[in-house]
């Protein structure tokens, strides 16, 4: 609960190789590979060849560490957008960029849910101004609509990532990760093949969301 001892300082006499930075990167790597559920302090310690308790000198606990991981991932959000595109298309690119940034580190999606979906920073400023450019002049309105956009995209990523690690969704063999078999649900036994599984292409689904959302923004803009 309280803040961890700050400033490891220069005189790291014992083990100079074990710093907050080293721990966080190793944690991120482990989480991306094994998933958040598969991650543990003890495994991380083993990976770093230290005792589990050593981590507790640098971090207050697992939550503290997870938070640092989220910040690490978040610190390199960068969405490049082709300036020659129309405003609507730039918003589409923004949404796609947000999604692919989130999928870059799957673990950060799960963690990020618990550690704030922040609407701050230059990426957000850019997003808000894009919405303004579309015709939603009032800044308050633009911010609200941008927040809606962020929540929609982040929520979608959560669903998507959940689907991937799901029990019932099995990847279509031979395809990239973005196709999922949806079972009909509702009392269907896991090994019942009588009901056909529905194949959903998650990319197509996301594009649908993007299209609907942008069209909705345009409508909101033209209403004043």
Question: What is the contact surface with DNA in residues (CB under 7 A)?
Answer: 5, 8-9, 11-15, 18, 39-43, 50-54, 56-58, 61-63
From DNA, a copy of itself, none, which one binds at residue 114 (CB under 5 to 8 Å depending on kind)? a copy of itself
182 bridge partner residues: 198
Instruction: Check if the beta carbon of residue 188 is closer than 8 Å to that of residue 195.
Output: yes
Using CB distances below 5 to 8 A depending on partner kind, what does residue 39 bind out of a copy of itself, DNA, none? Answer: DNA
Q: Which of 58, 57, 82, 53 is nearest to 68 (CA)?
A: 58
d(CA 50, CA 90): 47
| Stretch near a copy of itself under the rule CB under 8 A, chosen from 28-36, 39-47, 83-91, 157-165 | 157-165
Minimum distance from residue 124 beta carbon to DNA (Å): 31
Cβ nearer to a copy of itself, comparing 48 with 111? 111
Shorter beta-carbon distance to DNA: residue 61 or 121: 61
Give the integer Cα–Cα distance in Å for 72 and 100. 16
Q: Rule CB under 8 A: is residue 211 a binding residue for a copy of itself?
A: yes
∠ CA 216-202-207, rounded to 5°: 30
136: tokens are 């939603």
Nearest to 31 by CA among 43, 22, 21: 43
Say if CB 134 and CB 88 are below 8 A apart.
yes
Query: Where do runs of H (alpha helix) occur along 39-74?
Result: 41-48, 52-58, 62-74
- If one asks whether residue 209 binds a copy of itself (CB under 8 A), the answer comes out as yes
SS3 content of the chain, % helix, strand, coil (to 5): 60, 5, 35
Residues 52-71 that bind a copy of itself (CB under 8 A): 63, 67, 71
Site membership for a copy of itself, residue 173 (CB under 8 A): no
Least distance CB 62 / DNA (angstroms): 3
CB of 114 vs DNA, minimal distance in Å:
13
Q: Which residues bind a copy of itself (CB under 8 A)?
A: 3, 63, 67, 71, 74-75, 113-121, 144-145, 147-148, 151-152, 154-159, 162-163, 165-169, 182-187, 189-191, 198, 200, 204-205, 208-209, 211-220
């Amino acid at each position: 609960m309280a803040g961890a001892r700050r400033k490891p300082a220069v005189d790291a006499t014992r083990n100079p190789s074990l710093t907050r930075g080293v721990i966080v990167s190793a944690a991120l790597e482990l989480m991306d590979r094994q998933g958040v559920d598969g991650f543990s302090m003890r495994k991380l310690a083993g990976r770093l060849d230290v005792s589990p308790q050593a981590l507790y000198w640098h971090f207050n606990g697992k939550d503290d560490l997870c938070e640092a991981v989220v910040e690490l991932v978040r610190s390199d959000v960068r969405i490049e957008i082709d300036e020659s595109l129309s405003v609507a298309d730039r918003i589409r690119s923004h949404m796609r960029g947000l999604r692919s940034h989130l999928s870059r580190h799957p673990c950060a999606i799960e963690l990020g849910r618990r550690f704030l979906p922040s609407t701050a920073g230059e990426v957000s400023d850019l997003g808000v101004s894009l919405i303004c450019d579309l015709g939603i002049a009032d800044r308050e309105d633009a911010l609200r609509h941008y927040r809606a956009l962020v929540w929609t995209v982040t929520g979608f990523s959560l669903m998507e990532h959940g689907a991937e690690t799901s029990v019932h969704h099995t990847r279509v063999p031979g395809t990239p990760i973005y196709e999922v078999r949806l079972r009909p649900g509702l009392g269907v036994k896991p090994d019942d093949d009588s009901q056909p599984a529905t194949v959903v292409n998650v990319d197509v689904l996301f594009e649908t969301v993007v299209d609907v959302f942008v069209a909705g923004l345009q409508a909101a803009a033209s209403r004043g």
